[in-house]
Structure 1
Amino acid sequence: MNTVKPERIALFCLTPGGVALARRLHVALPMTCYTRETLVEPGFLPFDGSFAHTVQQAFTRYPALIFIGATGIAVRVLSPLLVDKLSDPAVVVIDERGQHVISLLSGHVGGANALARELAAILGVKPVITTATDVNDVAALDTLACQLNGRIDDFRTAVKTVNQMLVSQQRVGLWWDEEFSDEISRCDRRGFISVADLNALPELDALVCITLRAALPELPLPHWKLVPRRVVAGIGCRRGTPCGQISELLHRQLALQGLDPLALKAIGSIVLKQDELGLIQLASDLDVPFEIFSVAALREHEHRFPSSLFVKQTVGVGSVSGPAAWLLSQGHVIGETLREQGTTITLGVTHRC
């Protein structure tokens, strides 16, 4: 679930009562507050041209928006901006007397439900949350995926199907690899039936499996894999290596380790590769960050890996992919380094979301 950082919240108010409530919220939770120019006071910013224009700018800049005022006003100003519930910011609406805190948009993935609960606690009222899973006091697959920083093939369909089954009181199992036991214990699993053994399933209508594995045993019921992002890849390559070539080698390396490509969390390389188009494109295609490390940072760990004199003379450190994977994974490197076609790839697994 998206946890909205307080300094990334934009609040909009249009009346003196709204300003008073915003002032109260601002004391408890850092945020950027916008209001009409005639109502501006210390700690507030005036609308940039108009209310609608300011909201339009904030919609793509902030992960969360709070409106103090009528729900209808918020709906009308937001409607032209909405794209997708998986990417739109969290939106919460509060009446200017602070009696109702409404999670309006992006309740699960965007984090609006969690933000509404936090704001309601500040005001001492009950949040208004209408998502079906919350109303029926069961967990949601998209919330679970966010809590684990996980991916699912065809995410939208999987979430719609599983959540509907949960609210319909169908029997949905939840199985996970042992390595995730501690994390799962902290996740919301209401409504799911815990499964200990894939070879001895209880009576179920469907199953969700939390794993990094590329393949699972054949299962006799509808099932989905929720794949936490935990795998990192340190990559070194010749200048100008095509993205497609690096991608093919990376997927081969993942397959050799039996890892689902959805588990990839980040790729990393040396600072000299920060403008390497193949790596930049690869990170973009895989929707993962491209992290770069200084020569000095990599040099601290080059003794752990086979060194190339040519690479050392070229970039200043004898190994790039190994030390990069070591740093990305906090020392949890797995398997052998792939060396082929002027490219090296070392994988690691991090135990943090």
Structure 2
Amino acid sequence: MNIVRPESIAVFCLTPGGLRLAKRLKQHLPLTCYCSEKLLEDGFTAFSGTFAATVAQAFATHTALVVIGATGLTVRVIAPLLKDKLTDPAIVVIDEQGQHVISLLSGHVGGANELTRYLAGILGADPVITTATDVNQLAALDTLAVQLDADMHNFRQAVKVVNQMLVSDQRVGLFWDHDSLPESDDRWQTERYDTRGFVAVNSLADLPSDLSALICVSVREKLPDLAIPVFKLVPRRIVAGIGCRRETSFRLLISLLQQQLAKYEFDPLALRAIGSVVLKEDEPALKHLSDCCRVPFEIYSVNELRQHEHLFPSSDFVRQTIGVGSVSQPVAWLMSDGHLVGDTLKQQGVTITLGVSH
């Protein structure tokens, strides 16, 4: 999923009026602003060749593109670049008078709708948003997924089905499976999320009789069978600290990680990151594991781990080899702010400790 980051917004100015608007926006956001050589001023970057060529480059490197110019021109320029609404950057268009800010592409997952509202607020402009859920003042499943940093199986189809239900006045339940998390203070702060249009469900054993479907926010691998369609939205909350011998095989690592996740009944989609000590940053199996699971590989120095190693059993062999008595437990401790889950797996020279991040 593509989520707009303020430091990754490219703005394209085609006229002097566009430059003036961009200067106003730069007072509020860290923007990369492009313009032609003829309009070039301090703080702006010249187009790399043509406007279209520069847009094509930015399309691959920025999470959001803002064009201060005509909608039609923008559509023609970006049309050959479009790939997938789950990965394309947000595209927003602003007229050079600053009267309208238009969410053109990737409104939900890409964050264009949210960016449009923000930019319109800065300029005192009219935000133009046409996605059906927003027009009807409803939440959307893909927006909720972004807010939760969550994923789900068959995400694209689920979003299509659920959002269509919402705009068709069907009743879609929303259940927060707090019990799937190990500790009470790990629970989701539900008031932080946009749930307009969803029907709050407090218990799976007592569902409203008129629901057409149910969204279940859970990190649990399996849910009970219910009589209505259930879409499980899985927040990425689980982290794994991993220690291993040099040249450990990828097949062993992924097998043991899956084993540890299954032991505590976590859905594999709940994995947010793996981590290890700095001496393992180039370990092929760990890098492959990170790529395969599509999660970051976080690295910690020996000094960082030493600050917490007294909390855990130590190995003289590990200390002599690495410089600290344990790896997986202090790594998981740091990744989760001390919210560890269960026991550490120790098999065939591999240690894995799970935690819950916030």
Fold conserved between structures, TM > 0.5: yes
How far apart in 2 are the matches of 1:32 and 1:303?
A: 46
Counterpart position of 1:278: 285
Within-5 A mapping of 1:82-101: 82-101=82-101
Counterpart position of 1:314: 321
> How far apart are residue 23 of structure 1 and its match?
2.2
How far apart in 1 are the matches of 2:151 and 2:27?
A: 36
For residues 245-273 of structure 1, what are the alpha-carbon distances to aligned partners after superposition, in whole Å with 9 as ceiling and x for unaligned?
10110011011111111110110001110
How far apart in 2 are the matches of 1:172 and 1:181?
A: 22
Matched, 1:245 2:218: no
Residue among 289, 294, 307 paired with 1:287: 294
Counterpart position of 2:173: 173
Q: Secondary structure at the match of 2:189?
A: helix
Q: Secondary structure at the match of 1:28?
A: coil
How far apart in 2 are the matches of 1:63 and 1:2?
A: 6
How far apart in 2 are the matches of 1:75 and 1:40?
A: 24
For residues 162-194 of structure 1, what are the alpha-carbon distances to aligned partners after superposition, in whole Å with 9 as ceiling and x for unaligned?
101001010100000235765221111011000
Counterpart position of 1:131: 131
Matched, 1:337 2:341: no
Matched, 1:196 2:231: no
Within-5 A mapping of 1:1-353: 4-178=4-178, 182-203=188-209, 204-350=211-357, 352=358
- Taking structure 2 as the reference length, the TM-score comes to 0.95
Q: How many residues align?
A: 351
Say whether the 8 Å CA contact 2:214–2:229 is kept in structure 1.
yes
Unmatched tracts of structure 2, length 5 or more:
179-183
Taking only the aligned residue pairs, the percentage that are identical comes to: 63
> How far apart are residue 67 of structure 1 and its match?
0.3
> How far apart are residue 24 of structure 1 and its match?
2.3
For residues 31-82 of structure 1, what are the alpha-carbon distances to aligned partners after superposition, in whole Å with 9 as ceiling and x for unaligned?
1111111111222111111111111111111111100111111111111111
How far apart in 2 are the matches of 1:6 and 1:349?
A: 27
> How far apart are residue 29 of structure 1 and its match?
2.8
Say whether the 8 Å CA contact 1:232–1:347 is kept in structure 2.
yes
How far apart in 2 are the matches of 1:234 and 1:30?
A: 34
Q: Secondary structure at the match of 2:42?
A: coil
> How far apart are residue 312 of structure 1 and its match?
1.2
Say whether the 8 Å CA contact 2:346–2:352 is kept in structure 1.
yes
* Residue identity in the other structure for 1:173: G
How far apart in 2 are the matches of 1:294 and 1:7?
A: 27
Say whether the 8 Å CA contact 1:326–1:348 is kept in structure 2.
yes
* Residue identity in the other structure for 2:88: D
How far apart in 1 are the matches of 2:112 and 2:156?
A: 18
Say whether the 8 Å CA contact 1:270–1:294 is kept in structure 2.
yes
What is the Cα-based RMSD across aligned positions, in Å? 1.4
Say whether the 8 Å CA contact 1:148–1:183 is kept in structure 2.
no
Unmatched tracts of structure 1, length 5 or more:
none
How far apart in 2 are the matches of 1:185 and 1:17?
A: 41
How far apart in 2 are the matches of 1:153 and 1:183?
A: 23
Q: Secondary structure at the match of 1:130?
A: coil
